[in-house]
Amino acid sequence: MSVQALPPYLALALIAVAAIVALLYWLKPPPRTIVVASSLVWDRVLRESHPSPDRLRWWLSLLLATLIAAMIVSAVLPPSAATPGAAGSTLIIVLDNSPTMATRTTDGATRWDHAVARARALMESRAVGTQVWLADSMRRVATPAFRNRDDALAQLASLQVSYGLAPALPFPEQFAAIEAIVITDGVSLGPVPAHVRLESVFESVENAGITAFEVRALPADPRRYLAYVELFNASGVEKRIELTVVGVGGKRISRVVSVAPNSPRNEMVDISDFGGGPVRASIAMPGDGFAIDDVAYSILPAHRVMRVALVTDGNAFLEKSLQVQPRVNMTVIAPARYADDRNYDAIVFDRFAPKARPHVPALLFRPSRAEWLPPRHKEIANVSATSWNTVHPLLENISLLDLSVDRAAVADLRGRTQDAEAVLASRPGGEPLIVAHEGGVRWVSFAFALDDSNFALHAGFPIFLNNALNWMWGEQAHIKRGLGVVEVPVSDARVMTADGTELPTHSTGGGSLFEVDVPGLFTVVSAHQRLRLAVNLLDRRISDVNNSRLAQVKPDPEALIAAKRSFAFDPWFALLLAAALLLLFEWWSWNRRMTV
Amino acid sequence: MAQDNVLFSEEFLRQIEHLTMLTRGPVAGHLRGHHRSRRTGSGMIFTDYRPYSPGDDTRNLDWGTYLRLDRLILRLFEEEADLPIYIFVDVSRSMEFGTPSKFDFARRFAAAIAYIGLINHDRVSLVAFSDGVVEEMPARRGKSQVWRSLHFLERLRAAGGTSLQTAFRGFFGARRTRGLVVLISDFLDREGFERSFQVIREYRHDVFAIHVSSPEEVEPALADEVLLVDSELGHATRTRVTPDLIKAYRETFLNYCAEIEGFCRSHGWGYLRASTQSPLEKLVLKALRDEGLLR
């Protein structure tokens, strides 16, 4: 620390204090003159003992007094004035706020807490005029810029661990010459430029997490359901983990499993007895340092058999596809014999449409003309779908990329103003190939017959049928998302948590955005739609919190001490404490006549 | 300031009147006294026989032997002589220190011993010394000389440095009868006490050393930075007094005292360390008797 680096008034104050202390030392009274009977014994004593030279003790005493006074002056002046560093200097600090930074370390604080403390200590160690470029790996700071130190400190307080994005370092190339520090645990962060200094907050902890959670019907028996859970042990030793699956109606299944170190383990839990609705899987392991991945949610569909009528002159492919659908009890009816629809839960029309709108949901493939359907516009041939709504529940997990249609009768939606009709897929001219009606009784209409396209040959066709039947029947659709910023295909949606709290949302073109940072079940509600949303972490790369490139790097003890000190003390307190300790030392040394 | 009055209480004087000086061997006094001497004569203690020679005192003939042997045999008796006592009082500047001062204490001590000697008809000489013999009271004998002795002591003033060797050589250089030398001093002699004591040894005197010290010397109440000025030499030493230094001083002082005592004991001399805080009466009546100087 140089005097030139101090603020001028602080430097002047310190010089003045030092001068006063030195003056007081020079003004000390001369030693008392004591006449003794004889100095014979004293001379012997002084010859045999070797007291430290007076001048040395005087200087030591002066140094101590000056230090004590300087510390007290520095402490009572405004804290910022006491901070060393050159005004006008610049510093780049990037904090890694990827999910693994939420890992709790042995001292009870998280890696993120340590990183923030380290960043604060770094900034506070610089002069007031220092310009700090503060950014984070998850781009919370949308537009990082050089700010003064105090503003950067305020900005630091607003940062938090984030989810959903791939962590990245937003280093502008033109700043390569500026001192740059990245504070990270080294788990998720990618390559770091050579000129950047890495400050590690990594500390190995024990962790187990759920990295996959699915609820599926047994293919052999669609009425039976299994919960598929993948557990991952990120600890260095084998762990016994208690897995608990909880469902509607107080159903609960627990088991304790052993998982090898740094290995996954798959568990299947029969939840056929559970009622339809939310299912929660959780794990418990003593000393678990990362809680976000200890719980996951899903939805168990209701176990009901759906009565479906297939109205066709004969379509063996469609007939077989419907028959293999779980929970479907299918009846084939010829169009001529179609009369009453009230005995069915849903009807599939193949190249036929009744004159009146059915009372139950309907799936139509190239329907004949009917008043309740959009009018036909024209016949087109050799078409393919160029755009489709990937977030609609009907097309979830469906790709129409290879769809090839020989001929289709596209409808004209221009005259229709019903908001409830949505185009799910369209060809280059914009003519709709798939139209869905959501108002009142639902229906879905394909502009082409299955025989005129290769759609039935797609791997996703059975999935589409399942999606369609569930959607039409009003089975509450549910979707899954990861933590972070979540987008749902519902415009102007309201998002409610399980306890009824409404989350703030932002509408986008065809959906809504909101942010979730803990796993949970949410309900997305709009005027025409209601969705269940399960948000989970389920990412082994994140659960593997010890897979750090900095695992071999020993933390800098001085940096750790500095960070811990910044937790406990403000600078003025530390200075006062140091002054008190020096006073204590001065008293001790004076009593032993080491000082004057 | 020195205290001029060296008188004692009547009670104390009555007590010490019964005391007599002791020596470790026969004395060489010339006059009749109460102490054994090497000469034979008309004493009370039988020492030997010898044949009668004409002119011998016939009162000492052993008539029983004459009747048995028919020979005249004379009985010899140890003659009792007086004791020459040389009381050396240190009057150097260093003796002025302490409360009460070592100087007053030494004078009173000397007065008490002189009193005892005089009433026992010993020949008492008082010698005041510092860096040489300052003043001397020639040998006096008899109780009538007590006031003269006290007056001599009262007139003394502390001055000068300390040189035991010069004082002893100056005093004993003149022919002196062997006797008892009582040294009352603080023995703060820069030339060392050993050489001085050797001088007395050369003259084969019996010696009793009374080492006077004040409590301030043993436990100096000094603190912080001081300039120590030697009262005799005047030179100053600047030092920082620490508890460790005080401790070292105390040890050195006690070692110095022990050295003097060791020398005296090893040569068969008597030694008494007398603190000015101790009651003089107790020292005379008990300590000196315990040390074998008085009976």
The 10s digit of each residue's pLDDT in A391-411 is: 788 888 888 888 999 999 988
Q: With bands split at pLDDT 50, 70 and 90, how would you rate the model's confidence at A48? A: confident
Say what percent of chain B tops pLDDT 70: 90
Contact B164, B191 (CB under 8 A): yes
Query: Which residues in chain B have Cβ-Cβ distances shorter than 8 Å to A596?
Result: 225, 240
Helix (H, G, I), strand (E, B) or coil at A387: strand
Judge: B95–A593 Cβ closer than 8 Å, yes or no.
no
Of A30, A46, A591, the CB nearest to B237: A46
pLDDT, position A285: 93
The 10s digit of each residue's pLDDT in A243-294 is: 999 998 788 999 999 999 999 999 999 998 888 888 999 999 998 999 999 9
In terms of CA atoms, which chain B residue is nearest residue A593?
B242
Interface test with A, best of B187, B189, B232, B240 (most A CBs within 10 A): B240
In terms of CA atoms, which chain B residue is nearest residue A57?
B240
Spatial CB neighbours of B97, under 8 Å, sequence gap ≥ 6: A36, A37, B214, B216, B217, B231
Judge: B242–A51 Cβ closer than 8 Å, yes or no.
yes
Judge: B253–A31 Cβ closer than 8 Å, yes or no.
no
Q: Is the pLDDT of residue A24 over 90?
A: no
Q: Is the pLDDT of residue B56 over 80?
A: yes
In terms of CA atoms, which chain B residue is nearest residue A592?
B242
Q: Is the pLDDT of residue A81 over 50?
A: no
For the ranges A29-33, B45-49, B109-113, the maximum mean pLDDT occurs at: B109-113
- Report angle CA A338, A341, A344 to the nearest 5 degrees: 120
Nearest to A545 by CA among A267, A288, A280: A288
Mean confidence (pLDDT) of chain A? 84
The 10s digit of each residue's pLDDT in A336-382 is: 988 877 788 899 999 999 988 898 899 999 999 888 888 888 888 88
Nearest chain B CA: its distance from A27 CA (Å): 15
Say what percent of chain A tops pLDDT 70: 90
Query: Which residues in chain A have Cβ-Cβ distances shorter than 8 Å to B229?
Result: 33-36, 39
The 10s digit of each residue's pLDDT in A522-581 is: 998 887 677 888 999 999 889 999 988 887 666 555 555 555 555 445 677 788 888 889
Average pLDDT over residues A154-176: 83
d(CA A465, CA A471): 10
Whether B220 contacts chain A with CB within 8 A: yes
pLDDT, position B37: 66
Domain ranges of chain B: 10-29+82-291, 32-81
Whether B217 contacts chain A with CB within 8 A: yes
pLDDT, position B126: 95
Which DSSP string corresponds to A455-518? GGGSTTHHHHHHHHHHHHTTPPEEEEEESEEEEES-TT-EEEETTSPEEP-EE-SSSEEEEE-S
Whether B10 contacts chain A with CB within 8 A: no
Nearest to A475 by CA among A328, A304, A342: A304
Compute the count of residue pairs across chains A and B with CB atoms less than 8 Å apart. Answer: 103
Of B94, B228, B243, the CB nearest to A42: B228
Q: Is the pLDDT of residue A140 over 50?
A: yes
Mean confidence (pLDDT) of chain B? 86
In 10 A of CB A156, how many CB atoms? 20
d(CA B240, CA A60): 15
Structure tokens given for B255: 């070692």
d(CA A529, CA B233): 115
Average pLDDT over residues B67-72: 90
Nearest chain A CA: its distance from B278 CA (Å): 19
Q: With bands split at pLDDT 50, 70 and 90, how would you rate the model's confidence at A80? A: very low
Task: State how beta strands B180-185 and B84-90 pair.
Answer: parallel
Contact B113, B86 (CB under 8 A): no
CATH class of B10-29+82-291: alpha beta
d(CA A473, CA A361): 7
Helix (H, G, I), strand (E, B) or coil at A367: coil
Of B220, B225, B239, the CB nearest to A46: B239
How far lies B8's CA from each of A7, A504, B150, B229, in Å?
Answer: 80, 111, 10, 35
The secondary structure element, H or E, covering residue A35 is strand A32-36
The 10s digit of each residue's pLDDT in B158-197 is: 999 999 999 999 998 888 888 889 999 999 999 989 989 9
Nearest chain B CA: its distance from A589 CA (Å): 11
Q: With bands split at pLDDT 50, 70 and 90, how would you rate the model's confidence at B2? A: very low
Lowest-confidence region among A166-170, A453-457, B218-222:
A166-170
In terms of CA atoms, which chain A residue is nearest residue B97?
A37
- Residue whose tokens read 């019907």: A217
d(CA A198, CA A250): 49
Q: Is the pLDDT of residue A221 over 80?
A: no
Dihedral angle at the C-alpha atoms of A395, A397, A401, A405, nearest 10 degrees? -50
Q: Is the peptide bond before B100 cis (omega within 30 degrees of 0)?
A: yes
Query: Which residues in chain B have Cβ-Cβ distances shorter than 8 Å to A590?
Result: none
d(CA A109, CA A111): 7
Q: Could you give all domains of chain A from N- to C-terminal order, each with its CATH number? A: 3-82+574-591 (no CATH), 90-205+545-555 (3.40.50), 208-302 (2.60.40.10), 306-472 (3.40.50.880), 477-536 (2.60.40.10)
Query: Which residues in chain B have Cβ-Cβ distances shorter than 8 Å to A34?
Result: 222, 226-229
Q: With bands split at pLDDT 50, 70 and 90, how would you rate the model's confidence at B1? A: very low
Nearest to A420 by CA among A523, A530, A529, A533: A529
The torsion angles phi and psi of A348, rounded to 5 degrees, stand at -110, 120
Dihedral angle at the C-alpha atoms of B93, B95, B101, B105, nearest 10 degrees? -140
Query: Which residues in chain A have Cβ-Cβ distances shorter than 8 Å to B219?
Result: none
Contact B86, B180 (CB under 8 A): yes
pLDDT, position B160: 92
Dihedral angle at the C-alpha atoms of A378, A384, A388, A394, nearest 10 degrees? 90
pLDDT, position A78: 55
HEC per residue, chain B: CCCCCCCCCHHHHHHHCCCCECCCCCECCCCEEEEEEEEEECCCEEEEEEECCCCCCHHHECHHHHHHHCCCEEEEEEEEECCEEEEEEECCHHHHCCCCCHHHHHHHHHHHHHHHHHHCCCEEEEEEECCCEEEEEEEECCHHHHHHHHHHHHHCCCCCCCCHHHHHHHHHCCCCCCCEEEEEECCCCCCCHHHHHHHHHHCCCEEEEEEEECHHHHCCCCCEEEEEEECCCCCEEEEEECHHHHHHHHHHHHHHHHHHHHHHHHCCCEEEEEECCCCHHHHHHHHHHHHCCEC
Whether B99 contacts chain A with CB within 8 A: no
Judge: B186–A33 Cβ closer than 8 Å, yes or no.
no
Task: State how beta strands B133-140 and B123-129 pair.
Answer: antiparallel
Nearest to B152 by CA among B138, B163, B169, B170: B138
The 10s digit of each residue's pLDDT in B114-125 is: 999 998 888 899
Of B96, B227, B232, the CB nearest to A31: B227
Judge: B231–A37 Cβ closer than 8 Å, yes or no.
yes
Whether B254 contacts chain A with CB within 8 A: no
pLDDT, position A476: 62
Q: With bands split at pLDDT 50, 70 and 90, how would you rate the model's confidence at B285? A: confident
Judge: A54–B252 Cβ closer than 8 Å, yes or no.
no
Report chain A residues touching chain B, CB-CB < 8 A. Answer: 30-46, 48-49, 51, 54, 57, 591-593, 596
How far lies A538's CA from each of A99, A165, A297, A482, in Å?
Answer: 12, 14, 10, 7
Contact A483, A433 (CB under 8 A): no
Beta strands in A152-262 (DSSP E): 180-184, 197-200, 208-217, 225-233, 239-248, 252-259
Whether B232 contacts chain A with CB within 8 A: yes
Q: Which long-range contacts (CB under 8 A, 24 or more apart) does A287-291 make?
A: A287/A205, A287/A206, A288/A206, A288/A207, A288/A208, A289/A103, A289/A104, A289/A105, A289/A205, A289/A206, A289/A207, A289/A545, A290/A100, A290/A102, A290/A103, A290/A104, A290/A205, A290/A207, A290/A209, A290/A234, A290/A543, A290/A545, A291/A102, A291/A104
Whether B186 contacts chain A with CB within 8 A: yes
Q: Is the pLDDT of residue B261 over 90?
A: yes
Say what percent of chain B tops pLDDT 90: 43
Helix (H, G, I), strand (E, B) or coil at A362: strand
Judge: A45–B238 Cβ closer than 8 Å, yes or no.
no
Of A34, A51, A591, the CB nearest to B245: A51
User: Which letter, b or e, does each residue of A557-585 get, where b requires 16 or more Cβ atoms within 10 Å of its Cβ?
Assistant: eebbebbbebeeeebbebbbebbeebeee
Chain-centroid distance, C-alpha A248: 28
pLDDT, position A560: 54
Average pLDDT over residues A224-228: 88
Q: With bands split at pLDDT 50, 70 and 90, how would you rate the model's confidence at A295? A: very high
